[in-house]
A and B are shown apart, each in its own frame.
Chain A
Amino acid sequence: MKPSLLDTLLDPDQLSVCFQPIFLIRGESNRLYCLEALVRGPRGTNFERADIVFDYVRRKRAEAVVDRSCVVAICDAAMDLPPQVRINVNVHAATLGHKPGFVEFFHNQAKRRHLALDRFTIEIVEHAPTCNIPGLTDGITALRELGVRIALDDVGLGQSNYRMMLDCHPEYFKLDAYFVLGLSVDPKRRAVVESVATLASALGSSVVAEGVESSQDLAQLGRMGIELVQANLLCPALSLEQLQARGLVAATEKPQSAQPAGNLTTLQAFELGSPKPFALAARQSS
């Protein structure tokens, strides 16, 4: 019997990971600051696209278990990156806020592969109201104690609001592309971006501008003091091999003692306190 889509997503080998660089741009100089790990669904299916697969995951309310599967896939891929390269990992606020055990799971996956935790930034994404703020802030505190940095994704949209800025106290505000696109010719967008930059500065955070599509917008960001930029204009999401071919990261050897993680079985995905996914629960009760 063919596994359900959710069961397929819980096998990290069915996921693929690519990386999009975030650059630090100062004047004429431009250097790699970190890589955002981006997970794709099963190859050759409609669910390969990230927007579609995570739409499905949210409809299934399976963010917590799929986030863990993504962490395994990303940690596996990160073993091939040079140790000085920082890595951003997307995690739903619901995973941190409602499902105890994620931080321990993440710690164990990184440790098993000898990946230093201070290389990681967790990007908090949220598409639904976060009810369990104390749980979320506890999770963030635990991550920080491990050396992990925090970014708030999609700032300006949806649930990435002022309260999340205060509660998460992120090191990075990831400004959504909606506000960046056309910035150079739209004074209203400039006003919004300037206000976010001012707020970030006052809160001790840095702004990462996403979705820059023109050199004019890029130059405008520079004039506004926003130095961290993630954009297809500079570099799209690429496989590790493509990043190496472009000279953005050096090839590296895997540590000999690293333990291969193998597949995250459905059981393992739930062992740290996550509930059974809807599909399994329904199937077992029928």
Chain B
Amino acid sequence: MAEKILIIDDDEQLADAYKEYLTSLGYRVDCAQELEEAETLLAHFSYSVVITDLRLSKLGFGGLDLVKHIRELSLKTRIIVVTGYGWPELKAEASAHQVDAFVKKPTRLSDLAKTIGSLAGGV
């Protein structure tokens, strides 16, 4: 069974690019553009890895709240924060909430895949 990944990003083009690439590697990928969409998916499905931005600026939503929420739901889920904002201050803040890895935007898809592979153990 392929591992399941949730991508939370309000940049639709970027999320689609991640999804297409990761799907080609054999992962099953869902995307959420907003907090409630992500919360609903997390309530009904199990994800091995969640990739989230920390600042979903278009919707005025702080991804750190979602990181806390994911941790409340599951300690097993690996969380990768991909962000172009506030580095390294946010990194320190997010580390306190047991984020498993950080990737700075812009990132190569292959680098993102390597990070996922190292956390999820590959497909």
Contact = CB atoms under 8 A, between A and B. Distances in A.
Contacts of B86: none
B20 interface: no
Contact of B59 (A1, A5, A47, A282): A282
Contacts, number: 40
A106 interface: no
Interface in B36-53: 36-37, 39-41, 43-45
Give the one of B34, B41, B57, B58 with max A CB within 10 A.
B34
A286 B33 CA distance: 15
A87 B57 CA distance: 44
A279 interface: yes
B59 A279 contact: yes
B100 interface: no
Give the one of B36, B43, B45 with max A CB within 10 A.
B36
A127 to B, nearest CB: 13
B3 interface: no
B106 interface: no
Interface in A1-54: 1-2, 4-5, 46-47, 49, 51-52
A283 B12 CA distance: 14
A56 B40 contact: yes
B57 A286 contact: yes
Interface string A107-119: 0000000000000
Interface in A239-282: 278-279, 282
A188 interface: no
Contacts of B37: 5, 56
B58 A52 contact: no
A2 B12 CA distance: 8
B88 interface: no
A49 B41 CA distance: 12
Given A49-B44, A56-B36, 5 more contacts: A46-B44, A278-B36, A279-B34, A283-B58, A286-B60
13 contacts: A46-B41, A46-B44, A47-B40, A49-B44, A51-B44, A55-B40, A55-B43, A56-B37, A56-B40, A59-B36, A279-B59, A282-B59, A283-B58
